[in-house]
Chain A
Amino acid sequence: MKQRIARVFLYVLLVGAAVFYLTPIYVLLVTGFKSFQEVNLATMWALPSGVYLDNFAAAFVKLAPNLSNSLSLTVAGTIISAFLGSLNGYVLSKWKFRGADALFTAMLFGMFIPYQSILIPLVRFMQTIGLYGRLWGLVLVHVIYGIPMTTLIFRNYYATVVPNEMVEAAHMDGADLLGIYRHVMLPLAIPGFVVVMIWQFTSIWNEFLFAVTLTSPRYWPVTVALQNLAGSQIVEWNVQMAGAFLAALPTLLVYIFMSRFFLRGLMAGALKG
Chain B
Amino acid sequence: MRIRKDRLLAVVLISPSVLAIAIFVYAFIAWTMRASVSAWKGLLPDYTFVGLTNFVTLFRNPRFQIDMRNTGIFTVLFLATCLAIGLVLAVLLDQRPKGEAVFRNVYLFPMAISFIVTGVVWRWLLNPATSVERLSGLNLLFHQAGLDFLISQWYTHSRLGIAAIVIPATWQMSGFTMALYLAGLRSVPDELREAARVDGASEWQIYRYIVLPMLNAVTLSAIIMLGHTSLKIFDLVMAITQEGGKGFSADVPAMNMWYTAFRALRFGQGAAIAIIILVSVAVLIVPYLVYTFRTEVEQ
- B294–chain A nearest beta-carbon distance, Å: 10
3 interchain residue pairs of minimum CB distance: A206-B114, A114-B232, A255-B112
- B13–chain A nearest beta-carbon distance, Å: 6
Is B107's CB under 8 angstroms from A21's CB? yes
Count contacts on B: residues with CB < 8 A to the other chain: 101
The residues of A with any CB-CB pair to B shorter than 8 Å are 10-11, 13-14, 17-18, 20-24, 27-28, 41-42, 44-45, 84, 87-88, 91-92, 95, 97, 101-103, 105-110, 112-125, 144-145, 147-148, 151, 171, 176-178, 202, 205-209, 213, 223, 226-227, 230-231, 237, 240-241, 243-244, 247-248, 251-252, 254-256, 259, 262-263, 266-267, 269-272
Q: List 30 A-B contacts (CB under 8 A).
A: A13-B92, A14-B103, A17-B89, A17-B107, A21-B109, A21-B175, A22-B106, A41-B136, A42-B135, A45-B144, A97-B10, A112-B228, A112-B285, A113-B29, A118-B25, A119-B274, A120-B267, A121-B31, A122-B28, A144-B20, A176-B2, A206-B117, A227-B238, A244-B120, A247-B114, A247-B117, A248-B117, A251-B112, A262-B111, A270-B222
Confirm or deny: B208 has a beta carbon within 8 angstroms of a beta carbon on chain A: no
Q: Which of B5, B115, B224 has the most CB of A within 10 A?
A: B115
With the chains together, A17 CA to B97 CA distance in Å?
A: 14
* Interface residue SS majority, chain A: helix
With the chains together, A45 CA to B289 CA distance in Å?
A: 46
- Given A18-B103, A118-B32, 7 more pairs with CB closer than 8 A: A10-B97, A21-B106, A107-B18, A112-B228, A147-B21, A230-B123, A244-B121
Chain B residues lying within 8 Å of A259, measured Cβ to Cβ, are 105, 108
With the chains together, A270 CA to B173 CA distance in Å?
A: 13
* Selected contact of A267 from candidates B17, B18, B120, B179, CB within 8 Å: B179
Given the known interface contacts A87-B14, A91-B14, A271-B221, the answer about A101 and B297 at a Cβ–Cβ threshold of 8 Å is yes
Chain B residues lying within 8 Å of A28, measured Cβ to Cβ, are 121
Is A10's CB under 8 angstroms from B114's CB? no
Given the known interface contacts A88-B17, A103-B18, A117-B29, the answer about A241 and B120 at a Cβ–Cβ threshold of 8 Å is yes
Chain A residues lying within 8 Å of B254, measured Cβ to Cβ, are 114, 116
With the chains together, A13 CA to B124 CA distance in Å?
A: 26
- A246–chain B nearest beta-carbon distance, Å: 9
Confirm or deny: B245 has a beta carbon within 8 angstroms of a beta carbon on chain A: no
- Please encode chain B, from 278 to 294, with 1 for each CB lying within 8 Å of some chain A CB and 0 for all others: 10010001100110110
Confirm or deny: B171 has a beta carbon within 8 angstroms of a beta carbon on chain A: yes
- Please encode chain B, from 174 to 213, with 1 for each CB lying within 8 Å of some chain A CB and 0 for all others: 0110011001000000000000000000000000000000
Give the nearest-CB partner of B176 in chain A. Answer: A266
With the chains together, A232 CA to B124 CA distance in Å?
A: 14
Chain B residues lying within 8 Å of A119, measured Cβ to Cβ, are 32, 257, 261, 274
- B245–chain A nearest beta-carbon distance, Å: 14
Confirm or deny: B56 has a beta carbon within 8 angstroms of a beta carbon on chain A: no
Confirm or deny: B242 has a beta carbon within 8 angstroms of a beta carbon on chain A: yes
Given the known interface contacts A42-B135, A110-B25, the answer about A226 and B117 at a Cβ–Cβ threshold of 8 Å is yes
Is A116's CB under 8 angstroms from B11's CB? no
Q: Which of B3, B6, B271 has the most CB of A within 10 A?
A: B6
Give the nearest-CB partner of A112 in chain B. Answer: B285
* Selected contact of B293 from candidates A102, A116, A230, A243, CB within 8 Å: A102
Give the nearest-CB partner of B243 in chain A. Answer: A231
With the chains together, A240 CA to B45 CA distance in Å?
A: 38
- A273–chain B nearest beta-carbon distance, Å: 8
* Selected contact of B120 from candidates A41, A105, A240, CB within 8 Å: A240
* Selected contact of B277 from candidates A116, A207, A266, A269, CB within 8 Å: A116
Is B124's CB under 8 angstroms from A237's CB? yes
* Selected contact of B121 from candidates A18, A27, A125, A223, CB within 8 Å: A27
Is B20's CB under 8 angstroms from A147's CB? yes
- B36–chain A nearest beta-carbon distance, Å: 9
Is A270's CB under 8 angstroms from B180's CB? yes
Is B29's CB under 8 angstroms from A95's CB? no
- A134–chain B nearest beta-carbon distance, Å: 17
Chain B residues lying within 8 Å of A251, measured Cβ to Cβ, are 112-114
Is A120's CB under 8 angstroms from B92's CB? no
Chain B residues lying within 8 Å of A84, measured Cβ to Cβ, are 17
- B81–chain A nearest beta-carbon distance, Å: 12
Chain A residues lying within 8 Å of B17, measured Cβ to Cβ, are 84, 88, 107, 147, 151
Give the nearest-CB partner of A92 in chain B. Answer: B14
With the chains together, A144 CA to B42 CA distance in Å?
A: 28
With the chains together, A237 CA to B135 CA distance in Å?
A: 14
Is A223's CB under 8 angstroms from B116's CB? yes
Chain B residues lying within 8 Å of A27, measured Cβ to Cβ, are 121, 124-125
Confirm or deny: B137 has a beta carbon within 8 angstroms of a beta carbon on chain A: yes
Chain A residues lying within 8 Å of B20, measured Cβ to Cβ, are 144, 147
* Selected contact of A120 from candidates B120, B231, B274, CB within 8 Å: B274
With the chains together, A213 CA to B238 CA distance in Å?
A: 13
